[in-house]
Amino acid sequence: MNQAKKSYKEQLKNPALAGLLDSLVTAVILLDDDLRVRLVNASAESLLHVSASQISGDSLDQFIIKSDDLIESLQAALDNGQPFTTRDIHLQLPESVVERIDLTVSNFEHPRGLLLEMHPTSRLNAISQNSSLESQQETTRNLIRGLAHEVKNPLGGIRGAAQLLDRALPNEELQEYTQIIISEADRLRDLVDRMLGPWQPLILKPIVIAEVADRAMNILKVEFGPEINWLRDYDPSLPTVEGDQDQLIQSVLNIARNACQALFNISNPKISIKTRVTRQFTVGNKRHKSVLQLDITNNGPSIEQSFIEQIFFPMISGRASGSGLGLSITQNIISRHEGAVQVTSKTGATTFSIFLPFSPSVNEIQVTGSSK
């Protein structure tokens, strides 16, 4: 069992082969003739949310819940020497995680066992949907930027004319009206600037993401008071990311502030912030070997699926008093960092996830239609 518990990289005689397996988007699992795990690659670790050292030597039912039908099919393939492929299997994992996959099973004889290739269809669908939404959102942002620039010019003229009129008016009572014009012009100018999003160039340096999260958390503790219970679950082993600290703080702050606002009238309101490594993650057409994942989760009401598809569009808000710009600005900031923002929601658990690459672009692999 000690040998079985070693990582598969230690078991392989050829380190190049181990590196090749880890570079695959396809999740690969090698089972022996007792249907126990003898090898998993990095994509399989990511798909199953476990490490190789945790599951080496274990049977599938140790980490896949309700796997009786799957194990029965695998045993039949082993006994009959018959490979098979099946579509759209739902893998029930711990913590209520469900992964949808296409599964291909192949036999081999020396030593006797099975090779499982898992293609995560849920991630492919998510990438396709994200790419479509990002394209729509970019089109909308470009339209709004164009309109915003057109609005700023007449606003400046209105403000300037109001200032001249203010100086020429004979009494303060009439000047009250010009001051309203000036203040409203300033308010609209500020709104337009926010619609245009961050314009400053990124000042990149190594960033500890936990420090970014703590800064945003401390600001919101003052703003919303002690009623909200903040939970931190940081992986201390994470490397730094290359980023603009001020803009990353703003992006986390926008998401976390929305989470706070969603918790009004909620008993025992909680927000958790968690950091982890996610392997083989695709942003646009770039596949990263590993990225940082920052999850911000609140226990408020769920977001309707139809609204989730629009939530990052500018001027879209779930609150009557909201500007609808916070999440759009956040996505813009994260996109400029070559990252991505995703959201999942059910009653009592709405999670916004920020993904940021650790490595520079030279270490990325260009792909087309690849999965996370």
pLDDT for 7:
41
On the question of pLDDT at 155 being above 70, the answer is: yes
Local confidence band at 4 (pLDDT 50, 70, 90 cut-offs): very low
pLDDT for 366:
43
Choice between 16 and 72, residue whose per-residue pLDDT is larger: 72
Query: Which range is least confidently modeled, 33-37, 55-59, 155-159, 319-323?
Result: 319-323
Q: What is the mean pLDDT of residues 53-59?
A: 85
pLDDT for 367:
42
Give the integer Cα–Cα distance in Å for 162 and 4.
Answer: 80
pTM: 0.59
Local confidence band at 361 (pLDDT 50, 70, 90 cut-offs): very low
Percent of the chain with pLDDT over 70: 76
On the question of pLDDT at 372 being above 70, the answer is: no
On the question of pLDDT at 323 being above 70, the answer is: no
Q: What is the mean pLDDT of residues 295-304?
A: 91
pLDDT one-digit tens code per residue, 169-185: 888 788 888 888 888 88
pLDDT for 320:
47
Pairing relation of β-strands 229-233 and 241-243? Answer: unpaired
Local confidence band at 365 (pLDDT 50, 70, 90 cut-offs): very low
Local confidence band at 324 (pLDDT 50, 70, 90 cut-offs): low
Choice between 361 and 234, residue whose per-residue pLDDT is larger: 234
The mean pLDDT value of the chain amounts to 79
Q: What is the mean pLDDT of residues 303-325?
A: 64
The three state secondary structure string of the chain is CHHHHCCHHHHCCCHHHHHHHHHCCCEEEEEECCCEEEEECHHHHHHHCCCHHHHCCCEHHHCCECCHHHHHHHHHHHHHCCCEEEEEEEEEECCCEEEEEEEEEEEEECCEEEEEEEEEHHHHHHHHHHHHHHHHHHHHHHHHHHHHHHHHHHHHHHHHHHHHHHHHCCCHHHHHHHHHHHHHHHHHHHHHHHHHCCCCCCCCEEECHHHHHHHHHHHHHHHHCCCCEEEEECCCCCCCEEECHHHHHHHHHHHHHHHHHCCCCCCCCEEEEEEEEEEEEEECCEEEEEEEEEEEEECCCCCCHHHHCCCCCCCCCCCCCCCCCHHHHHHHHHHHCCCEEEEEEECCEEEEEEEEECCCHHHCEECCCCCC
Nearest to 327 by CA among 233, 223, 194: 194
Nearest to 312 by CA among 275, 348, 352, 349: 352
Local confidence band at 355 (pLDDT 50, 70, 90 cut-offs): very high
* Angle (nearest 5°) at CA 60 between 57 and 61: 115
On the question of pLDDT at 26 being above 90, the answer is: no
Give the integer Cα–Cα distance in Å for 73 and 91.
Answer: 14
pLDDT one-digit tens code per residue, 100-151: 888 899 998 777 889 899 887 755 555 555 555 555 556 655 666 666 667 7
Local confidence band at 8 (pLDDT 50, 70, 90 cut-offs): very low
Q: What is the mean pLDDT of residues 257-285?
A: 87
Percent of the chain with pLDDT over 90: 21
Choice between 298 and 285, residue whose per-residue pLDDT is larger: 298
